[in-house]
C-alpha cells in the first residue's frame, strides 16, 4: 500500500465557513440557469501504512456512507498509480451547491452514528495521529461542464491535471479556451471521458485550474494524448497567438491515480 502524489492545501477555516451561507445564497438564486457544482479535493499526507489503513477505514466505513445519507452521491478516493514512497490519499467530494459545503460539516458534527463509526480516526491521539496533514482546495465547475460525470465502474486509471497561470487574467484566458473555444468538446469527442473541470477558488498555487480525465490503461492514455495533439480543432485553437501556452500557463502538473475499491468515482 505504498503510494504518493502531489498535494493541495487545506480549505475552509472558521472565517470562510461562516461566510459560505451568505455567498451561496447569492449564487443559488433561482435564475433559471444551471448551478455549477463545487468540488473539494482533499489530500492526506501519511507517514506509514498504519495511518493509511486508519484513514481508509474512516473514509469507507464512516465518511462515505454518512455523506451519502446527506445527499452527496459522489466521493472519489484515489491513490497514486506509481508511488515513490508512502501514499497520499486523494478524496474528491462533489457538492451541488456551495452552501452544502458549510451544511455538511454541521451535519457531521451532529451525527452520533458517524461520530461512533469514525471515532478511531476522529479521536486519534496526538501520540498516534491518523495522518500528518490534510490539504485541500475548493473548486467551482466550468460552465461548459457544470456537473461531475462519473465513469462506468471497471479497471481504469485517472489523470489529475493542474494548470497554473502567472496572473488572474492569464488563468481566466486559459479557462476561456476550455469553455468558449471548444477545448472541453475535443476531450469529449476523442473519448477522454472527463470527470470534472474546476477553477480553484480557495487553495494553494492560485491562479490555477484542475481537471480529471480517465483511461482504460496506460496504452490508452498515450493513444488519446497523441490523438489530441494531432487534432485539427486543437491545432486551430492553440495556434491563436493570444492562447499561446507561454502566455497562459506557467506550470502543468499531472498525477496518475487509481481508485480504491470503495471509491464512488
Instruction: Provide the domain limits for residue 69.
Output: 14-259
d(CA 191, CA 185): 10
C-alpha grid cell, residue 202: 480557495
Residue 228 lies in a domain: yes
Residue 97 lies in a domain: yes
**CATH value at residue 56:** 3.30.70.100
pLDDT greater at residue 22 or residue 87:
87
**Using DSSP, how many helices (H) and how many strands (E) does the chain show?**
11, 8
- Arithmetic mean of pLDDT over the chain: 88
Answer yes or no: is pLDDT of 80 > 50: yes
Answer yes or no: is pLDDT of 22 > 70: no
List all residues 6 or more positions away from 105 whose beta carbon is below 8 Å from its beta carbon: 17
pTM of the model: 0.84
| 3 pLDDT tier (thresholds 50, 70, 90) | very low
Average pLDDT over residues 84-91: 92
Yes or no: say if 147 and 61 are a contact pair by the CB < 8 Å rule: no
What's residue 153's pLDDT? 83
What's residue 35's pLDDT? 85
Residue 197 lies in a domain: yes
Residue 158 lies in a domain: yes
What's residue 84's pLDDT? 84
Answer yes or no: is pLDDT of 145 > 70: yes
List all residues 6 or more positions away from 149 whose beta carbon is below 8 Å from its beta carbon: 193, 194, 195, 196
**Over pLDDT 70: what percentage of the chain?**
87
| Count of CB atoms situated within 10 Å of the CB of 197 | 27
DSSP states of 236-250: HHHTSGGG-HHHH-S
Query: Looking at the 3D structure of the chain, how many domains does it have?
Result: 1
| 237 pLDDT tier (thresholds 50, 70, 90) | very high
What's residue 34's pLDDT? 57
Residue 171 lies in a domain: yes
Segment 121-132, tens digit of pLDDT: 999 999 999 999
d(CA 82, CA 184): 27
- Burial level of 87, CB count in 10 A (0-12/13-18/19+)? buried
Residue 187 lies in a domain: yes
DSSP 60: I
Place of cell 477522454: 192
What's residue 24's pLDDT? 41
Residue 265 lies in a domain: no
Residue 7 lies in a domain: no
- Burial level of 81, CB count in 10 A (0-12/13-18/19+)? middle
Amino acid at each position: 500500500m505504498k503510494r504518493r502524489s502531489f498535494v493541495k492545501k487545506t480549505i475552509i477555516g472558521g472565517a470562510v465557513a461562516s461566510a459560505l451561507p451568505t455567498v451561496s445564497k447569492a449564487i443559488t438564486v433561482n435564475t433559471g440557469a444551471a448551478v455549477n457544482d463545487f468540488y473539494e479535493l482533499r489530500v492526506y499526507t501519511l507517514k506509514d501504512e498504519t495511518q493509511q489503513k486508519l484513514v481508509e477505514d474512516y473514509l469507507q466505513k464512516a465518511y462515505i456512507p454518512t455523506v451519502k445519507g446527506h445527499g452527496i452521491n459522489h466521493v472519489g478516493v484515489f491513490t497514486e498509480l506509481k508511488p515513490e514512497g508512502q501514499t497520499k490519499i486523494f478524496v474528491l467530494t462533489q457538492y451541488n451547491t456551495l452552501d452544502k459545503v458549510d451544511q455538511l460539516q454541521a451535519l457531521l458534527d451532529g451525527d452520533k452514528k458517524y461520530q461512533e463509526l469514525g471515532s478511531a480516526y476522529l479521536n486519534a491521539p496526538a501520540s498516534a495521529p491518523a495522518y500528518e496533514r490534510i490539504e485541500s482546495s475548493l473548486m467551482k465547475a466550468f460552465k461548459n461542464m457544470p456537473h461531475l460525470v462519473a465513469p462506468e465502474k471497471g479497471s481504469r486509471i485517472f489523470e489529475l491535471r493542474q494548470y497554473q497561470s502567472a496572473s488572474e487574467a492569464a488563468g481566466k484566458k486559459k479557462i476561456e479556451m476550455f469553455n468558449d473555444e471548444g477545448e472541453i468538446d475535443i476531450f469529449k469527442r476523442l473519448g477522454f471521458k472527463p470527470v470534472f473541470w474546476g477553477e480553484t477558488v480557495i487553495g494553494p498555487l492560485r491562479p490555477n485550474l484542475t481537471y480529471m480525465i480517465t483511461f482504460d490503461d496506460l496504452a490508452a492514455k498515450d493513444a488519446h494524448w497523441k490523438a489530441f495533439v494531432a487534432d485539427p480543432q486543437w491545432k486551430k485553437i492553440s495556434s491563436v497567438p493570444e492562447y499561446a501556452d507561454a502566455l497562459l500557463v506557467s506550470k502543468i502538473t499531472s498525477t496518475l491515480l487509481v481508485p480504491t475499491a470503495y471509491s464512488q468515482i
